[in-house]
Amino acid sequence: MNVIAPEPITADLSALAARFRQVLPPECVVTDTIARKPFETDAQTMHRQMPGIVVLPETVAQVSEVLRLCREFGVPVVPRGAGTGLSGGATPVPGGVLLAMTKFNRILDVDYANRVVVAQPGVTNLGITRAVEDDGFYYAPDPSSQIACTIGGNVAQNSGGVHCLKYGLTVNNILGVELVTMDGEVLRVGGKHLDPEGYDLLSIITGSEGLLGVITEVTVRILPKPETVRALLVSFDSIEAGGACVADVIASGIIPAGMEMMDRITIDAVEEYCAPGYPADAAAILICELDGPAAEVDYLIERVTAIATRNGAIGVRASQSEEERLLFWLGRKSAFPAAAKMKPDYYVLDGTIPRNKLAPVLARIGELSRASGLTIANVFHVGDGNLHPLILYDANVPGEMEAAEHLGHDILRLCVSVGGVLTGEHGVGTEKRDLMPEMFTDLDMQQQQRLKCAFDPGQHLNPGKVFPTLHRCAELGAMHVHKGKTAFPELPRF
C-alpha cells in the first residue's frame, strides 16, 4: 500500500522554499536531503516517504504564511507533532511540505482558578502534567507515548490512554483550540468556558488527523490529583474468565480508573524483558486501577476482589505501596518494547469491540494467528474493549510484512463485524484508510468529506489520509436533483 497523492505536483519546490525563506528564519526551512530524512515516517514505519520541504515555524503568523504559500503553489502540507503516530497520519506526501510544530513548545498559561492550562501544540503530553503536578494537578489523558507525543498531536488524533475508562479521551478533556486554516486564517474555537458558542467545531477538530487545520494552541482541563491510587493484579486461567470479571465489575456500578489485560504470550515477553513478577500460571492477567478518596479506593478494592474471586480468579494481589503499584504497571508499560524483543518488527492494531464480544473475538484472533503462522501478543484496554493485538514479524523475511498487514486487516474486519470499530485511539491515517468502507458507506464518508471541504476546499491539508476515495469538493457539493419530479409522498399528516 502506498501513499497516494491526489494529483501530480507541478509546483516548483525550490521556488516555494525561497518564498518560505522570506518569511521564516533560514534554519527553519529544511531542504537538505539528510536533514529531511528523519521526517520520512512517523511511528507507523511500514510506509516511508521523503518530504519535499520540511518547515519548522516558530510563530502563528509564520504558520499562517506557510499555509497561504502552499495554497498559492498548490502544494500539499502535512502537519506533524512528535511523529509518534501509529497510523501514518504524519507520513509525508510526495513532493509536499512537512510542517513540524515542535518549536511551539511553551506553556502559555497555568490557570488554577479556572482549572485549565493553555499550551502551544508542541508541548508534550507529560509536559502539561509536569507543569502543574507540584501544585497537585494533572492532565488526565495519558497515552503510553506521553513522554514524547505532543498535545497538538493528541488533539489531532483524539488520543486516549490507560485512564480514559474513567476520564475520557482528549476530546473530553479540552475546552479550546486556536486553528490556522488552509487560507491562513487564524480561528479561535472555545476557550476556558464549558458550553460551545455555536456549532461544536471543537468536537470535530479533535480527531481531525491534520486534515482540517493546523492547531497552534490548546486549552486543556486539568484535574486535582486523586487522594489515593491503588491497583489490583488479578490472574485467570482463561481469557474468558477475565472478560467475565471485567463485565461484572462494570455491571456492579464500578468504573475503575483503568482496566488492562494481557495474554500469556505478552506475560512471557514482559517477564523476559523486565521481570515484573507476574504469576507464572496465568492465561491472562488483569490490572485494575482504582483512584479517588482513600476510603472509596479501599472499599472498591474489596468489592473488585470479591467479584474477581467469584469469577474464578486464580490469584488476586492488591498493591500495598506505591512501589508495588508501579511494579504491576511496569510490565504493562513495557509490553510494546518487550514485544519488539521477540521479533524485529511488530504491527500494532487498535480495534475496539463491545466488551461482551471479547472472548469470541480473542479466540478468532488466535485462529487467524495460527493460520497465518505469525505470532500475536494481546495487550488491551479491556475496560473499554479497545484491543491492541501486536503482530510480530520480520520485515527482512520476504512477504512477512505483507502477511502481517493482511492479518491485521482481517482482525480489524472481525472487530467491525461484531459491532466494533477500526480504531479506538490511534487514528485512520494511511494505515486503515482503505478499510474505512468496512464501517462506512459511500454516503457516510461523503458526509465526512463535505466537512473537510468546509475547512479546506482545495484539499491541500494532509491529502491521501483517512478517506480511501478522493472527491473534488465541487463534486461533493453538487446537488443532483430532479426538480418537480416527485409529487410529494403520501405521509400521514396530523
Partner 1 sequence: MTSAYKPTDEKELAELISWASAEARPLELVGSGTKRGLGCPVKINGRGIPAKVDLSGIAGVVFYEPEELVISVRPGTPLEQVNQMLAERNQMLAFEPLDWGWLLCGESKYGTIGGAISVGSSGPRRVKAGAARDFVLGAHAVNGRGECFKSGGRVVKNVTGYDLHKLMTGAYGTLGAFTEITLKVLPAPEKTYTLLIHGLKPERAVEALTAAANSPFEVSGLAHIPAPEAARSQVPYVGRADRAITAIRVEGHGVSVTHRMEELKKLVAPFGPLEELHSMNSRRFWSEVRDAWLLPPDHQVVWRVSVPPTNGAAIIAASGADSWLMDWAGGLIWLGYESAAAGQGARIRAAMTEGGHALLVRAPDAVRREEAVFQPQAEGLAKLSARVKAGFDPSGIFNPGRMGAVSLPGAA
Ligand X SMILES: Cc1cc2nc3c(=O)[nH]c(=O)nc-3n(C[C@H](O)[C@H](O)[C@@H](O)COP(=O)(O)OP(=O)(O)OC[C@H]3O[C@@H](n4cnc5c(N)ncnc54)[C@H](O)[C@@H]3O)c2cc1C
Got the DSSP string for 336-405?
HHHHHHHSSEEEE---B--GGGHHHHHHHHHHHHHHHT--EEEEEEGGGTEEEEEEEE-TTSTTHHHHHH
Which residues, 6+ apart, have CB-to-CB distance to 31 below 8 Å? 13, 14, 17, 53, 54
Q: How far apart are CA 6 and CA 332, in angstroms?
A: 40
Per-residue binding letters, 75-104, with ligand X (x by CB under 6 A): ---xxxxxxxxx--xx----------x---
93 touches 49 (CB < 8 A) = yes
Residue 159 touches ligand X, criterion: CB under 6 A: yes
Residue 422 touches partner 1, criterion: CB under 8 A: yes
> Pick from 445, 459, 460, 463: which binds partner 1 (CB under 8 A)?
445
Binding to partner 1 (CB under 8 A): which residues in 168-187?
168-169, 171-172, 181, 185-187
> What three-state secondary structure class fits 265?
helix
**Nearer residue to partner 1 within complex by CB, 178 or 345:** 178
Min dist CB 272 to partner 1, Å, is 29
For residue 215, the partner it binds in ligand X, partner 1, none, with Cβ less than 5 to 8 A by kind, is ligand X
Min dist CB 334 to ligand X, Å, is 10
Binding to partner 1 (CB under 8 A): which residues in 340-359?
352-356
> Pick from 439, 463, 464, 465: which binds partner 1 (CB under 8 A)?
439
Q: How far apart are CA 241 and CA 316, in angstroms?
A: 13
Q: How far apart are CA 388 and CA 376, in angstroms?
A: 10
**Nearer residue to ligand X within complex by CB, 357 or 433:** 433
Min dist CB 485 to partner 1, Å, is 7
> Pick from 157, 235, 311, 430: which binds partner 1 (CB under 8 A)?
157
404 touches 390 (CB < 8 A) = no
> What three-state secondary structure class fits 38?
helix
> Pick from 127, 210, 242, 389: which binds ligand X (CB under 6 A)?
210
Please choose, from the candidates 445, 441, 472, 467, the residue with its C-alpha nearest in 3D space to the C-alpha of residue 456: 472
Q: Hey, what's the cell of 244?
A: 467475565
**Nearer residue to partner 1 within complex by CB, 13 or 299:** 299
> Pick from 451, 468, 471, 472: which binds partner 1 (CB under 8 A)?
451
Min dist CB 380 to partner 1, Å, is 11
What backbone phi and psi angles, to 5 degrees, belong to 436? -50, -40
Distances from the Cα of 48 to the Cαs of 32, 77, 90, 124, 264, in angstroms?
17, 16, 10, 24, 33
Residue 143 touches ligand X, criterion: CB under 6 A: yes
166 touches 264 (CB < 8 A) = no
> Pick from 226, 277, 312, 458: which binds partner 1 (CB under 8 A)?
226
Binding to ligand X (CB under 6 A): which residues in 390-449?
425-426
**Nearer residue to ligand X within complex by CB, 83 or 95:** 83
Residue 317 touches partner 1, criterion: CB under 8 A: no
For residue 20, the partner it binds in ligand X, partner 1, none, with Cβ less than 5 to 8 A by kind, is none
> Pick from 21, 36, 192, 264: which binds partner 1 (CB under 8 A)?
192
Per-residue binding letters, 82-121, with partner 1 (x by CB under 8 A): -----------------------------xxxxxx-----
Q: Residue 135: what residue type?
A: D
Min dist CB 319 to partner 1, Å, is 18
For residue 78, the partner it binds in ligand X, partner 1, none, with Cβ less than 5 to 8 A by kind, is ligand X
232 touches 288 (CB < 8 A) = yes
Q: How far apart are CA 114 and CA 126, in angstroms?
A: 20
Instruction: Give the long-range contacts of residues 273-276, CB within 8 A, separation 24 or more.
Output: 273/334, 273/337, 273/338, 273/341, 274/330, 274/331, 274/334, 274/338, 276/327, 276/328, 276/330, 276/331, 276/334
Q: Hey, what's the cell of 422?
A: 477500526
Min dist CB 253 to partner 1, Å, is 4
**Residue 286, beta-bridge partner list:** 234, 261
For residue 482, the partner it binds in ligand X, partner 1, none, with Cβ less than 5 to 8 A by kind, is partner 1
Q: How far apart are CA 347 and CA 404, in angstroms?
A: 7
Residue 42 touches ligand X, criterion: CB under 6 A: yes
Name the residues that contact ligand X, by CB under 6 A: 42-43, 78-86, 89-90, 101, 121, 143-145, 149-150, 152-154, 156-157, 159-161, 209-210, 214-215, 336, 425-426, 462
